[in-house]
Structure 1
Amino acid sequence: MSNSRSTKLHVAMFPWFAFGHITPYLHLSNNLAERGHRVSFLLPKGAQAKITPGAETASDVPFPLHGHLCIAFDQTQDQVQTILSSLKPDFIFFDFSLWMPALAHQIGSKAIYYSVITPVAQALKVPTKQKLEDMTLEDFMQLPPGYPSPSVRIKSKAFEIAQLKVVAEDLGTGMSIYVRITSSMIWSDAMAFRTYHEVEGPYCDYLRKHYAKPVLLTGPVLPETLATKLDEKWTNWLCNFKQGTVVYCAFGSQNKLQKDQFQELLLGFKLCRQPFLVALSTPDGCATIEEAFPEGFQESVKGRGWVYGGWVPQTLILEHPSIGCSVTHCGYGSMWESLFSDCQIVCVPYLGDQILGARLMVEELKVAVEVEREDNGWISKESLSKAIISVMDKDSEIAGLVKYNHAKLKEELTSEGMQERYLDTFIQNLQGLLD
């Protein structure tokens, strides 16, 4: 029996209160528990039901008010300390709670910074001497020579500034997201990322060297779908279309579009002339998703277009043979799910780490295309349609290139036992930190 399966660990999990953070921690927890390790998972009470909260996670709070959620998150410190002091786990996995390393060391535990976003985003430095308005996303790209630095060619200056503010400005807690994350990495005992070295190795190597501490890789740790079947309401509709013809789109739970941009995107899907399944949140100011449809839209796409405003089983949908294209916001989980699918990939990033994930797929891996924005950040129906057609047209050179690169990468990523080996090595490395 291997060392990773013989010495049992006790791991505590304390992710930031957002489903995009909670879910990856949960997937890793399940894998550790399956190997006989003990896992204690700390969540807000409301989030334990579905996991579904009241206003206790980031998807329930508008982004401008996330500072309040951040303050509430930090105010759980005393309760968290009481619980963890009783549990005394070997390791505490955390991301936004920069106070966790000191707490962990006080009770004799190791603090592991476990990131749910791409290492590319963690490897960037924010210049401190420039005013935000004078910066571009290129200013973030300060990796030393010898490391790939994805270029950021966004036409829209306004969009760039908006994304910089997300990470560089104070949310009302006395520090920016950038400072919070960087401090967490500095004070942790080790950093862990849900990636493969084959995909993001150079960035992981840079972080290991820059922070002079272990960088452990779990692999993507996506949930198994083999035992689960896609609900009939999806299969009955998807089976109406030929293999590889349906365009699927989802932008995650936190990306709420304005009504005018939402309508423009729907017109873009109509314009591309492919069947489409779009799963987006109801736009701001609308009670239902149907209320936000452009006039006459529903009738004009009847039979070939379905716009759904609720949660969808994305992994299972991407595996359906009728799906041929994934239009994604490049959230890290969605990025991996797209890479593990057979679909063509179109990127529509919204937040800073999503932009960098898109750069990774478009420029480094060359497995996707990105929708072009206008000067003010607007995405036109023509731009969206053009990107989709460019990867769905069988005679298109770019379609052939990204399809070939994607298939080659997928073959490598899905080689037998690869995820298992990564998890076994990850557990062995954790045990090594206790020696």
Structure 2
Amino acid sequence: MGSKFHAFLYPWFGFGHMIPYLHLANKLAEKGHMVTFLSPKKALKQVEALSLFPDNIYFYYVTLPHVDGLPVGAETTSDLPNSSKRVLADAMDLLRGQIEAEIRDLKPDLIFFDYVDWIPEMAKELGIKSVSYQIVSAAFVSMFLAPGAELGSPPPGYPSSKVALRGHDANVYSFFANTRKFLFDRVTTCLKNSDVIAIRTCAEIEGKNGKQLEDRWNNWLNGFEPCSVVYCAFATHLLFGENGYAYILCSNQRISINIVTSSNYSKTFMLTILSHQSVGCFVKHFRFGSMWETLVSDCQIVFIPQLADQFLTTRLLTEELEVSVKVERDETTGWFSKEGLRDAIKSVMDKNSEIGSLVKRNHEILKETLVNPGLLSGYADTFVEELENPIFKQCGMVD
């Protein structure tokens, strides 16, 4: 076992980021390292419930200062419409003085972060190593590695042409990239200035199953035929509302639709829903972080990518691994129709569908790899061992 260290974790204040960071915190704590986890006070119950090692994980809670445009009481992305993410970043920036004072007092060895681009500068001033810990796919991170840039460039042929953005996907992506340019600029700065770049991914793709489903949901789902339910889960800040889901109804096929939003239910709820015998298809926008739970289920997968890395995740699973299908979009505008959504679902729900049989077979093969005991822990152990490596001690990373 290498030297023990103290890690300070500062994720972007969105549950899609905080939850993966808590998984990392648990792994570090399991190995005997100390962790300080920065979180908004509003997320107190959710994040503390995920801590498996309370003796080694300390939660440092902050209240976001007011900035123009930030609704009263808003502290995470779940509290904001898609167009207001910049104000959250502005508020998080105003925490710098408070956080720097805390870090000076704690004297951690490492700071893990993703979107807070001033962390590397502050860490260098305090003699602390910074780790840009990205929860998106390696293919998405490679988009920031332009040829000739200081960060270098991806290896030749990576990502493959199947995964790269193109055509109408790029048109839709461009729309969101323009509205969220400040986030892309932040990520580029983070990658450029950090001491270490780490990506939460693996060669085989990771995941694990959930707990028992509550009786009220279990009894309700039992009223449907096996594999006849389409489960839809989307973040509340996406473009289309619940009224749009009525168009998912498929003719000549008995399909029930359960509509939930990712901010209303936990990941445990999602996992248990997916494991129920009546659920046969999962429709989602698919951030990279939510992909694992889907792949270890038996459900057919339908993608409707909306933002940034979701397009690359779609390419990866639909064209590279062929374990899912995507909703077709208009070649000019990039938008999808109710008919396109209906056809995508029918293509995997119809028992006589060739594409449905193909993706189901490939999905089953991939699932066998993912549920192999020790796969996920093996990757995590290797990552922590690298952090414990004596070379980091020589660089002044740990005492």
Q: Same fold (TM over 0.5)?
A: yes
Give the deviation of 1:358 after TM superposition. Answer: 0.8
2:348 matched to 1:391?
Answer: yes
Give the deviation of 1:51 after TM superposition. Answer: 4.9
- Which among 193, 205, 209 is matched to residue 199 of structure 2? 193
Give the deviation of 1:122 after TM superposition. Answer: 1.0
Match of 1:182 in 2: 188
For residues 160-187 of structure 1, the C-alpha deviation after alignment (integer angstroms, 9 at most, x for no partner) is 43133144x3xxxxxx322210111111
Give the deviation of 1:223 after TM superposition. Answer: 7.0
Give the deviation of 1:423 after TM superposition. Answer: 1.4
> Mapping of 1:26-41 within 5 angstroms?
26-41=22-37
* Contact 1:372–1:379 under 8 Å retained in 2: yes
Matches of 1:94 and 1:358, distance apart in 2: 25
Question: Structure 2: any 5+ residue segments left out of the alignment?
Answer: 49-62, 64-72, 148-152, 395-399
Matches of 1:67 and 1:157, distance apart in 2: 22
- Which among 382, 393, 398 is matched to residue 434 of structure 1? 393
2:293 matched to 1:328?
Answer: no
* Contact 1:349–1:358 under 8 Å retained in 2: yes
Structure 1 residue matching 2:9: 3-state secondary structure: strand
Residue 114 to residue 144, structure 1, CA distance change in 2 (3 Å): closer
Give the deviation of 1:158 after TM superposition. Answer: 5.7
Give the deviation of 1:256 after TM superposition. Answer: 4.8
For residues 5-48 of structure 1, the C-alpha deviation after alignment (integer angstroms, 9 at most, x for no partner) is xx433111100111111111112212322332211011122222
Question: Structure 1: any 5+ residue segments left out of the alignment?
Answer: 129-141, 170-175, 200-219, 282-308
Amino acid paired to 1:367: V
Amino acid paired to 1:161: S
- Which among 354, 363, 382 is matched to residue 425 of structure 1? 382
Matches of 1:126 and 1:34, distance apart in 2: 33
Residue 405 to residue 223, structure 1, CA distance change in 2 (3 Å): closer
Q: TM-score, normalised by structure 1?
A: 0.76
Match of 1:152 in 2: 165
For residues 95-144 of structure 1, the C-alpha deviation after alignment (integer angstroms, 9 at most, x for no partner) is 0111111222222321111112112111014989xxxxxxxxxxxxx966
2:287 matched to 1:359?
Answer: no
* Contact 1:27–1:223 under 8 Å retained in 2: no
For residues 298-325 of structure 1, the C-alpha deviation after alignment (integer angstroms, 9 at most, x for no partner) is xxxxxxxxxxx93251111112222211
- Which among 324, 332, 338 is matched to residue 368 of structure 1? 324
Amino acid paired to 1:325: C
* Contact 2:250–2:346 under 8 Å retained in 1: no
2:366 matched to 1:409?
Answer: yes
Structure 2 residue matching 1:98: 3-state secondary structure: coil
Match of 2:103 in 1: 84
Query: How many residues are matched?
Result: 358
Matches of 1:253 and 1:223, distance apart in 2: 25
Matches of 2:284 and 2:196, distance apart in 1: 31
Match of 2:14 in 1: 18
Matches of 1:429 and 1:127, distance apart in 2: 27
Amino acid paired to 1:330: F
Give the deviation of 1:250 after TM superposition. Answer: 0.5
- Which among 334, 339, 364 is matched to residue 382 of structure 1? 339
Match of 1:319 in 2: 275
Q: TM-score, normalised by structure 2?
A: 0.82
Residue 224 to residue 92, structure 1, CA distance change in 2 (3 Å): farther
2:82 matched to 1:55?
Answer: no
2:114 matched to 1:116?
Answer: no
Amino acid paired to 1:279: V
> Mapping of 1:179-258 within 5 angstroms?
179-199=185-205, 220=206, 225=210, 228-258=211-241
The more displaced of 241-250 and 231-240 is 241-250
Matches of 1:244 and 1:16, distance apart in 2: 36
